[in-house]
């Protein structure tokens, strides 16, 4: 069945065309994001949700999203998405990190000029026939200091534009390296120094607990008298009441505000302040940017829904369209190894070690580890998947270790999963042969070669003559048909393991009968 995608915000028609052309059933309801009840009623039918900023993906909405696999944000900020809850539910959240950066940077520069030359107010006055030539004295930008808070994709474009305008640029960004600052031609400074030196301050950080209220009364007090403040990033970076007071007092000469604490901003404390220029979250609103983000989000979501390729996800490692098919059998093997170990683990899990050897060590092992953790935890938590498994493991304090050795051993590729519990370590290893089928090749260090079917019996016993015949007879007498039979032992007369694929799940009676056989040490029904 074709996957279904809902677009609940206004997106370029390009997105609809891409989904349709790739065989995805698409529902385009550009105003649905504003109607949370109707959205909650409908969301259960969809595999994908494409949004901009109007749709709020809350935990309540996610509760109803039973089939949802991917949320695509046609834009950058995902503060309208409850990413931790989406992750726990196994829903991938992806964005389009570059598609609207230039446009948003240009908006910040446009706002700087609009404020510095009071263009909107002068326009209103002129069109009212007032010709108030002396009222609108502006500020020249050349040689002024531009302070950029957050020098990532957008901030660095703003910085480059500022340098192009002959401004001196200082930047505060804890993740900006000295080399990158040099390359950009900006001076890396601490926040207080930026406040002290900048004539124009522009913000380009995400809204996080660290950046919330980064510009408040105390920060404004450190700034130059007559500073200009631009916010084209997120409402919430600036304390709106404090900015209003500073505009009223003249401490801040003007502000350009594109984003508000509450959006849509219909009645905001800033409105009516002197030399304030506002736009209704237009940072990304050019046809070029909207075309870019619509195209990108639709391609990324379609790739994921149709091929498993992951690009620009915030809660899952990337898997390219080329590597997705190559990775599939290894992800299946990793999940089977995890599931095998998970079904045999009865005491508290403390840690998991994944060892990748040979060709597989050069692959996307983070994705494989996520698959292994999924298999491991599924016996306990039915809804876990490769998105949620690493987060759940972290939450439960399970230490996950990855070891990669690129040299080949006896196999071209080899994955060993070791589970560390309070009582013991147990390992299981496997490989993928050239036929693309995963095989289990070691259990607890004992060599064997088994393909895992849907229903398996795992039997451990003392290695003595006659046991295999008795096991076969017991299963035959119980009407259980054997599909494959795989054996291994550590030493002659030592511990032996049988992995038996059977056509139907083993009943409790069958398990009891096998358990009662002489030499048996453990019996377990496994399902894959």
Ligand X SMILES: NC(=O)C1=CN([C@@H]2O[C@H](COP(=O)(O)OP(=O)(O)OC[C@H]3O[C@@H](n4cnc5c(N)ncnc54)[C@H](O)[C@@H]3O)[C@@H](O)[C@H]2O)C=CC1
Catalytic machinery residues: 234, 263, 281
Within residues 80-139, the interface with ligand AKG by CB under 6 A covers 100
Residue among 206 and 472 whose Cβ is closer to ligand X: 206
150 binds ligand X, rule: CB under 6 A = yes
Within residues 24-53, the interface with ligand AKG by CB under 6 A covers 52-53
Between CA 338 and CA 417 the distance in angstroms is 7
Within residues 198-237, the interface with ligand X by CB under 6 A covers 204-206, 208, 210-211, 232-234
Least CB distance from residue 77 to ligand AKG, whole Å? 3
Residue among 75 and 488 whose Cβ is closer to ligand AKG: 75
Residue closest to 192 by CA, chosen among 170, 213, 159: 170
Residue among 294 and 500 whose Cβ is closer to ligand X: 294
Strand 520-527 and strand 446-450: the pairing is unpaired
Strand 455-462 and strand 495-502: the pairing is antiparallel
- DSSP-assigned states of every residue in 291-317: HHHHHHHHHHHHHHHHH--B-SBSSS-
Residue among 153 and 421 whose Cβ is closer to ligand AKG: 153
Contact 243, 215 (CB under 8 A): yes
Least CB distance from residue 258 to ligand X, whole Å? 5
284 binds ligand AKG, rule: CB under 6 A = yes
- The DSSP symbol for 285 reads -
Residue among 74 and 310 whose Cβ is closer to ligand AKG: 74
Burial of 518 (0-12, 13-18, 19+ CB in 10 A): exposed
Q: Which stretch binds ligand AKG (CB under 6 A): 280-288, 308-316, 351-359, 431-439?
A: 280-288
- The DSSP symbol for 356 reads E
The encoded tokens of residue 267 equal 């009645």
Residue closest to 415 by CA, chosen among 398, 437, 432: 432
204 binds ligand AKG, rule: CB under 6 A = no
Q: What are phi and psi of 41, to 5 degrees?
A: -65, -35
The footprint of ligand X on this chain (CB under 6 A) covers a number of residues equal to: 32
- DSSP-assigned states of every residue in 377-406: HTTT-TT--TTHHHHHHHHTT-EEEEEEE-
Judged by CB under 6 A, which of 51, 70, 110, 151 binds ligand X?
Answer: 151
Picked from ligand AKG, ligand X, none, the partner binding residue 52 (CB below 5 to 8 A depending on kind) is ligand AKG
Between CA 325 and CA 366 the distance in angstroms is 16
Least CB distance from residue 12 to ligand AKG, whole Å? 11
Residue among 55 and 370 whose Cβ is closer to ligand X: 55
Judged by CB under 6 A, which of 12, 87, 96, 104 binds ligand X?
Answer: 104
Least CB distance from residue 284 to ligand AKG, whole Å? 4
Number of H helices, E strands in the chain: 17, 22
Where do contacts with ligand X occur on this chain (CB under 6 A)? 75-77, 97, 100-101, 104, 149-155, 172-175, 204-206, 208, 210-211, 232-234, 258-259, 281, 283-284
- Residues contributing to the site for ligand AKG (CB under 6 A): 52-53, 75-77, 100, 281, 283-285
């Amino acid at each position: 069945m074709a996957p279904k995608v809902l677009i609940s915000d206004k997106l370029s028609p390009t997105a609809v065309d891409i989904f349709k052309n790739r065989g995805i059933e698409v529902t385009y309801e550009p105003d649905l994001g504003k109607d949370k009840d109707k959205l909650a009623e409908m969301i259960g039918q969809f595999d994908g949700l494409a949004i901009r900023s109007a749709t709020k993906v809350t935990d309540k909405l996610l509760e109803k999203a039973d089939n949802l696999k991917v949320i695509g944000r046609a834009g950058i900020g995902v503060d309208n998405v409850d990413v931790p809850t989406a992750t726990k539910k196994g829903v991938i959240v992806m964005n389009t990190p570059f598609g609207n950066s230039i446009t948003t940077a240009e908006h910040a520069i446009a706002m700087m000029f609009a404020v510095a030359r009071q263009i909107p107010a002068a326009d209103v006055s002129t069109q009212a026939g007032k010709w108030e030539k002396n009222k609108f004295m502006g500020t020249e930008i050349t040689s002024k200091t531009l302070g950029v808070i957050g020098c990532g994709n957008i901030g660095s474009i703003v910085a480059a534009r500022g340098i192009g305008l002959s401004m001196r640029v200082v930047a505060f960004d804890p993740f900006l390296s000295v080399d990158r600052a040099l390359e950009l031609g900006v001076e890396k400074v601490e926040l207080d120094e930026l406040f002290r030196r900048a004539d124009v301050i522009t913000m380009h950080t995400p809204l996080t607990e660290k950046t919330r209220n980064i510009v408040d009364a105390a920060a404004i007090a450190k700034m130059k008298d007559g500073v200009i403040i631009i916010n084209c990033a997120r409402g919430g970076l600036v304390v709106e009441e404090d900015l209003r007071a500073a505009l009223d007092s003249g401490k801040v000469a003007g502000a350009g505000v594109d984003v508000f604490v509450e959006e849509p901003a219909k009645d905001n404390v800033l409105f009516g302040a002197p030399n304030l220029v506002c736009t209704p979250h237009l940072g990304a609103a050019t046809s070029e940017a909207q075309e870019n983000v619509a195209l990108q989000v639709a391609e990324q979501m379609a790739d994921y829904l149709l091929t498993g390729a992951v690009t620009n996800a915030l809660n899952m490692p990337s898997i390219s369209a080329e590597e997705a098919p190559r990775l599939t059998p290894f992800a299946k093997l990793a999940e089977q190894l995890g599931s095998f170990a998970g079904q045999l683990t009865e005491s508290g899990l403390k840690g998991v070690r994944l060892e990748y050897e040979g060709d597989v060590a050069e692959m996307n092992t983070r994705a494989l580890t996520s698959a292994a953790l999924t298999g491991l935890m599924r016996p306990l938590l039915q809804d876990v998947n490769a998105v949620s498994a690493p987060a759940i493991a972290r939450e439960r304090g399970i230490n996950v270790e990855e070891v990669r050795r690129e040299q080949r051993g006896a196999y071209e590729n080899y994955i060993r999963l070791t589970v560390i519990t309070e009582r013991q370590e147990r390992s299981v290893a496997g490989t993928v042969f050239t036929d693309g089928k995963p095989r289990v090749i070691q259990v607890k260090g004992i060599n064997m070669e088994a393909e895992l079917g849907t229903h398996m019996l795992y039997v451990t016993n003392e290695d003595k003559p006659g046991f295999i015949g008795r096991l076969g007879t017991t299963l035959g007498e119980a009407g259980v048909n054997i599909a494959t039979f795989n054996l291994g032992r550590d030493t002659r007369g030592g511990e032996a393991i049988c992995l038996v694929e059977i056509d139907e799940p083993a009943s409790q009676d069958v398990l009891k009968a096998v358990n009662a056989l002489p030499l048996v040490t453990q019996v377990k029904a496994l399902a894959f």
